[in-house]
Amino acid sequence: MFSLRSASICVVALAVNAAARPTVFTQRSTLARSDGSPLSLTFSIANDSDASDAVPYYVPLDGISYSFSVSHSSLNDGDEFGLVTVIDPGNSASFSSIQSTVSAYSSEDDVFNEAFLSTVFLRSSSSSKLSSSLISSVASKFEVNNIFASSSVPSAKGVSSAVLSSQTTIPIGPYVYRIGGPSKSASFWPVYRLYPDPQEAFLYGVTAAADGGFVRSSGNVPSAGDYTTVPVPSRLYYKESSLPLAGLRVGVKDIYDIDGLKTGCGSRAHFALYPPRNATAPAVQRLIDQGAVIVGKTKTSQFANGETATADWVDQLCPFNPRGDGYQDPSSSSSGSGAAMGAYGWLDHAIGSDTGGSIRGPAGQQGLFGIRPSHGAITLEDVMPLSDVMDTGGYFARDASSFKTFGRSWYGSTFKSFPSFPKRLMVPNDTWPVSNAASEAIFSSFISKLQTFLGAESDATGISALWTATSGVNETVQVYMNQTYATLIGAYQYDNFGLPFITDYMAANGGRAPFIDPAPKARWAYATGRGEAAFEDEGNRRVVFQDWVAKEVFKASDASCSDGILVYPQSTGRTSYRNVYFSPPTAPLGFSYGRVGPFAGVPDLVVPLGQVAYNSTISGTTEYLPVTISMVARKGCDYMLLDLISELELHGIINSVGVGKTAFTI
């Protein structure tokens, strides 16, 4: 056990510390309670005596815990903390089964460390069948000092023991424990490994609170410098769960409310003004109910508006895109979620939102799977709004299988699968081919394989030509829809979010107005300047376009949901350096294939295909940037697209991506 008697940092070691045993190298307590008891623990475990490979851990003592009554104890008296591993030996406990279990723990979990084997809790009624020889073998092999069990423990030389009983079942895995007090009760706390965030993707890390809400993590790693650290729990805690997202670690864009946490929306003034939320957005709660683990809030551009990294991000530092030379723009809005997914293998998924490209842009820049779902896929109650008719909740993944599983779990019964895939592949001649020869070769190869896989006919008709021929509108789609997006998002967000926020802030700050970043300020001014009549007119235009798409672009199919799939380039490997200055932001006018999803409410899924080389002006060497494609179908056909993408991966037509400088192995 290790001692915790003051708030100072001290060097300590486990009671048994043979050369093979990792060492608890540093340990610190944070005193916060009136009685002087610690609120949290931070310690590191190192395999080397100089702690060069030390892994930091964090234990919030006011968070989730498990309590046990203690009997038949041969432990020495004390009120100190110790490390323990909970193991279920099964109905027929044997040394080989326990050895296999420990081996699996080490290979499956990035939190577990052999140092937690200084004490073992055999969590099972089968402990009554334990033998002295088994206890001795386990103690000798794993250098165990103490063994706890659910019923009597046979005595073994050099091993202390105790019987722990409780009405609740504690999950398997590593914990910190303490036994003490007149009643000799035992408390177990889950441990979190602390990961630094050098990409500046997270606003802060979080842990689950005892009351069902969340608290901001106070854990930090001195060796991580000034970087935020993100606490992640052991994957073993969820191994016995049957929930579809059990144990998956998820980052949440900081526009979703979470009980106990502040929602900043990329604004220092907004973060400071409002207290922590007292309810969790239903979209996030659904993930939690499906077994997902929320590990932190990820950064967003201010109020989820489009911003470039160099000058538009004023209130926060824009996250760093890990791809290439590390100084490419990560794209905007869901930037933190995208950068985190491109950088950190310990993060399984991250959610964001997409109104005009806030999932698709970061997915393209970081080379990830990303989805802007059909409008209405999931409720966005208690989520900061941009446009009620275009906002959607999306997410990122690094492989097609988990992309599909996460989507089906999150969106639930909103959509359904179909027996076949569309037989018409739309490859519009007004967007293909792309000018970059290297990326065009990647696109061309994929489109050819996709067409063969589908057994589909190719349709080269562009949206512009089809609109002119069939819409009945005497304007080109570029002219007709030119101001629609800018007007709808700017006016709606200002009226329903911006103005109430400004009013609240001024009332609380003696009439002083809050700072607003250049991008949302320009967008709000443009849209409100056009007036209510223009807002209504642009809303009608969006409906006209939506109805036209449902009638002429993607027709319904009983066999495949949508009769066709549209593909367009999402990212081509073009550089977008974050140290290049641009002109001041203006209203987001115009029409492009990226606007089809927002205007028509249809799903638009990003798929990473490959990467192309470029000569970096930052590193002075050859680097690589992702090439991604968007796949679009009829509204409500989201699962058809997820099923298709999963099948494409199974057939080797597309591949999963990795983390770090390159999405694919060079």
Give me the pLDDT at residue 220, please.
Answer: 78
Residue 74 has pLDDT above 90, yes or no: no
Residues 205 and 185 in one domain: no
* Mean pLDDT across 308-337: 96
User: Does residue 2 belong to any structural domain of this protein?
Assistant: no
Give me the pLDDT at residue 26, please.
Answer: 54
* Mean pLDDT across 279-287: 98
User: Does residue 502 belong to any structural domain of this protein?
Assistant: yes
Residue 36 has pLDDT above 90, yes or no: no
Residues 106 and 135 in one domain: yes
Residues 567 and 618 in one domain: yes
Lowest mean pLDDT among 28-32, 207-211, 362-366, 543-547: 28-32
Q: What is the CATH number of the domain that holds 213?
A: 3.90.1300.10
For 65, other C-beta atoms within 10 Å of its C-beta total 18
User: Does residue 102 belong to any structural domain of this protein?
Assistant: yes
Give me the pLDDT at residue 125, please.
Answer: 56
User: Does residue 475 belong to any structural domain of this protein?
Assistant: yes
The pLDDT tens digits of the residues spanning 408-420 come to 999 999 999 999 9
Residues 173 and 285 in one domain: no
Among the listed residues 341, 345, 447, the one whose alpha carbon sits nearest the alpha carbon of residue 394:
341
Give me the pLDDT at residue 46, please.
Answer: 87
Give me the pLDDT at residue 13, please.
Answer: 33
Give me the pLDDT at residue 50, please.
Answer: 63
Residue 181 has pLDDT above 80, yes or no: no
Give me the pLDDT at residue 9, please.
Answer: 29
Q: Which residues are CB-neighbours of 656 under 8 A, at least 6 positions away?
A: 398, 399, 400, 649
What percent of the chain is predicted at pLDDT more than 90? Answer: 80
Residues 327 and 468 in one domain: yes
User: Does residue 3 belong to any structural domain of this protein?
Assistant: no
Here the tokens at position 109 are 């979990």
Residues 168 and 254 in one domain: no
Residues 401 and 378 in one domain: yes
Task: Answer with the one of 163, 190, 217 that is the final residue of a domain.
Answer: 190
Residues 222 and 87 in one domain: no
User: Does residue 19 belong to any structural domain of this protein?
Assistant: yes
Residue 4 has pLDDT above 50, yes or no: no
Structural domain total, the chain: 2
Task: Answer with the one of 167, 190, 213 that is the final residue of a domain.
Answer: 190
For 543, other C-beta atoms within 10 Å of its C-beta total 13
Residues 204 and 130 in one domain: no
Confidence of residue 489 (pLDDT cuts 50, 70, 90): very high
CA distances from 294 to 145, 214, 347 (A): 34, 9, 10
Please return the burial class of 187, using the count of CB atoms within 10 Å of its CB with bins 0-12, 13-18 and 19+.
middle
The pLDDT tens digits of the residues spanning 508-534 come to 999 999 999 999 999 999 999 999 999
Give me the pLDDT at residue 506, please.
Answer: 98
Residues 176 and 286 in one domain: no
Among the listed residues 568, 627, 573, 572, the one whose alpha carbon sits nearest the alpha carbon of residue 602:
568
* Mean pLDDT across 104-118: 96
Residue 8 has pLDDT above 50, yes or no: no
Instruction: Give the domain range for residue 251.
Output: 197-273+280-666
The pLDDT tens digits of the residues spanning 183-196 come to 678 999 999 999 99
Lowest mean pLDDT among 92-96, 483-487, 564-568: 92-96
Residue 63 has pLDDT above 50, yes or no: yes
CA distances from 571 to 134, 368, 492, 613 (A): 59, 11, 29, 14
Confidence of residue 130 (pLDDT cuts 50, 70, 90): confident
What percent of the chain is predicted at pLDDT more than 70? Answer: 91
Here the tokens at position 182 are 């007149």
Task: Answer with the one of 175, 190, 205 that is the final residue of a domain.
Answer: 190
The pLDDT tens digits of the residues spanning 571-618 come to 999 999 999 998 999 999 999 999 999 999 999 999 999 999 999 999
CA distances from 541 to 168, 470, 471, 599 (A): 58, 15, 12, 9
User: Does residue 262 belong to any structural domain of this protein?
Assistant: yes
Give me the pLDDT at residue 54, please.
Answer: 87
Residues 554 and 644 in one domain: yes
Lowest mean pLDDT among 52-56, 252-256, 516-520: 52-56
Lowest mean pLDDT among 60-74, 354-368, 492-506, 510-524: 60-74
Average pLDDT, the chain: 92
Residues 157 and 34 in one domain: yes
DSSP three-state, residue 321: coil
User: Does residue 541 belong to any structural domain of this protein?
Assistant: yes
